């Protein structure tokens, strides 16, 4: 084994090894090779839909040269997996669906451009629930992703491939998307950090839409510093995205000073009810105690409309999905049924054969709530409730700096346990969807393990564009672990 392939810790945070890269004690090529080795060894996890091994190694060698010349970017040597709902020019973007199985993207998403400009190394595209619709990554047309801690259990969803890749050491960091908890929930179930930034903080240009007013791209990592560095690169205004916020991006790393004294954290009583697993409750109480001893004040807050979040989310998100997925009709791109004999059959058979069961279910739900006679009863009313939920958070943040809640009512569940009961599956998102309804940032932080050694995650929710406070607390708790 030569110096370029010396053994490295594949789960080591980027911030821990970047100084060694700068000194020449380690190479980007060696680190990429080690990640590729893990990918090969743990194929059973079904984490990647495409691996760009030769391309990643070639880029790593080029970046090693740039490091030697002192010309490397902020993410030089960061090996990243990208959820297969984000477009990369010349690469297949499947969205985990048969309908896009052979679709080759003709352009790069803004986040991909920014990663490349900062000298990140993209190692592959990660598996996901079809069109990001799911909470377990059991809905991929290319097979489910397995949880690397226990392969009989789900990794969470819909960004299960990205979470599992980071947890297993198949990438240093990864990008996912969060529409109702799809970064935070799998991060919690796989024992890594995952952040949903404020809506509009990260450009959605090049992201294949599920629900356009909810979707947000965000990072997975082993450390708060890696989240901070990666978010600092991909965040910022993009004129190609009409929903991108023209708000300055702070230096997230500077907030990670280990000092949390004087912060006020709210505990929403509605999120600590009887449905919460006792081991998860105990784990959160231990972290609360740690923070109290370091000068953090905890305040009970109320979110009066919390009970309506799941219903509101699944009305609005499915309505947007119905609209967004209408473009996959067999006429322009994507799968076209070979069994069609006329135009009508081309539409119906292409969509029937190309979409999976969960996507069809959500299209039908969304079409129903948008239909004549039901629009006012469901969609319009849900929009009004969404505003009330947003107002609940605005009121809470007048009293506290952020909120702490569980990520999920349970730890990772078994395959098949909920897939045939959509309501139970949807309730897996009960603590996460509110952040997407309100457009606020949230982060999942590892908080120990349960009696079966399954990861427990806690969630922090913050004011719009205040990711820094969440990262500060995440970094503090990481240091205390």
Supply the residues annotated as catalytic. 83, 158, 182
Q: How far apart are CA 182 and CA 135, in angstroms?
A: 7
Pairing assessment for the beta strands 193-196 and 442-449 based on DSSP bridges: antiparallel
Q: What is the 3-state secondary structure (H, E, C) of the chain?
A: CCHHHCCCCCCCCHHHHHHHHHHCCCCHHHHHHHHHHHHHHCHHHCCEEEECHHHHHHHHHHHHHHHHHCCCCCCCCCEEEEECCECCCCCECCCCCHHHCCCECCCCCHHHHHHHHCCCEEEEEECCCHHHCCCCCCCCCCCCCCCCCCCCECCCCCCHHHHHHHHHCCCCEEEEECCCCCCHHHHHHHCCEEEECCCCCECCCCECCCCCCCCCEEEEECCHHHHHHHHHHHECCCCCCCCCCCCCCCCHHHHCCCCCCCCEEEEEHHHCCCCCCHHHHHHHHHHHHHHHHCCCEEEEECCCCHHHHHHHHHHHHHHHHHHHHHHCCCCCCCCCCCCCCCHHHHHHHHHHHHCCHHHHHHHHHHHHHHCCCCHHHHHHHHHHHHHHHHHHHHHHCCCCCEEEEECCCCCCCECCCCCCCHHHHHHHHCCCHHHHHHCCCEEEEEEEECCCCCEEEEEEEECCCCHHHHHHHHHHHHHHC
* Residue 19 backbone class (left: φ over 0; alpha: ψ -120 to 50; beta: rest): alpha
Distance set, CA 116 to CA 40, 80, 124, 233 (Å): 25, 11, 14, 10
Whether residue 112 contacts residue 87, with contact meaning beta carbons closer than 8 Å, is answered with yes
């Amino acid at each position: 084994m030569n110096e370029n392939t010396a053994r490295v810790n594949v789960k080591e945070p980027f911030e821990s090894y970047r100084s060694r890269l700068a000194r020449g004690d380690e190479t980007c090529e060696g680190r990429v090779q080690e990640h590729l080795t893990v990918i090969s060894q743990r194929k059973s996890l079904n984490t990647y839909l495409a691996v760009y091994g030769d391309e990643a190694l070639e880029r790593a060698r080029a970046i090693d040269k740039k490091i030697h010349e002192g010309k490397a970017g902020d993410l030089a040597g960061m090996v990243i997996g990208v959820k297969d709902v984000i477009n990369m020019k010349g690469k297949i973007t499947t969205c985990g669906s048969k309908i896009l199985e052979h679709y080759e993207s003709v352009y790069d998403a803004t986040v991909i451009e920014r990663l490349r400009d900062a000298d990140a190394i993209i190692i592959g595209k990660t598996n996901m629930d079809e069109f990001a619709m799911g909470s377990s990554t059991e809905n991929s047309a290319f097979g489910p992703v397995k949880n690397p801690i226990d392969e009989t259990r789900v990794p969470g969803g819909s960004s299960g491939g990205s979470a599992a890749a980071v947890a297993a050491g198949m990438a240093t960091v990864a990008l996912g998307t969060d529409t109702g908890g799809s970064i935070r929930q799998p991060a919690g179930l796989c024992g890594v950090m995952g952040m949903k930034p404020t809506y509009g903080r990260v450009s959605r240009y090049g992201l294949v839409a599920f629900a356009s007013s909810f979707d947000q791209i965000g990072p997975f990592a082993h450390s708060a510093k890696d989240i901070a560095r990666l978010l600092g690169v991909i965040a910022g205004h993009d004129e190609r995205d009409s929903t991108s916020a023209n708000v300055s991006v702070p230096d997230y790393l500077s907030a990670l000073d280990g000092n949390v004294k004087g912060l006020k954290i709210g505990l929403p009583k509605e999120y600590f009810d009887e449905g919460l697993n006792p081991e998860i409750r105990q784990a959160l109480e231990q972290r609360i105690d740690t923070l109290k001893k370091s000068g953090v004040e905890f305040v009970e807050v109320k979110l009066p409309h919390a009970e309506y979040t799941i219903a509101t989310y699944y009305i609005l998100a499915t309505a947007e999905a119905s609209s967004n997925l209408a473009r996959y009709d067999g006429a322009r791109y994507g799968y076209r049924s070979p069994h069609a004999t006329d135009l009508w059959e081309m539409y119906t058979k292409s969509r029937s054969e190309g979409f999976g069961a969960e996507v069809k279910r959500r299209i039908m739900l969304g079409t129903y709530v948008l239909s004549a006679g039901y629009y006012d009863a469901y969609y319009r009313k849900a929009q009004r409730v969404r505003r009330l939920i947003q107002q609940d958070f605005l009121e809470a943040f007048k009293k506290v700096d952020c909120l702490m809640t569980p990520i999920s009512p349970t730890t990772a569940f078994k395959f098949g346990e909920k897939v045939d009961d959509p309501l139970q599956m949807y309730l897996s998102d009960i603590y996460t969807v509110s952040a997407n309804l309100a457009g606020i940032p949230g982060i999942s932080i590892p908080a120990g393990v349960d009696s079966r050694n399954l990861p427990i995650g806690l969630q922090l929710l913050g004011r719009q564009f205040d990711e820094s406070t969440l990262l500060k607390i995440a970094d503090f708790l990481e240091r205390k672990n």
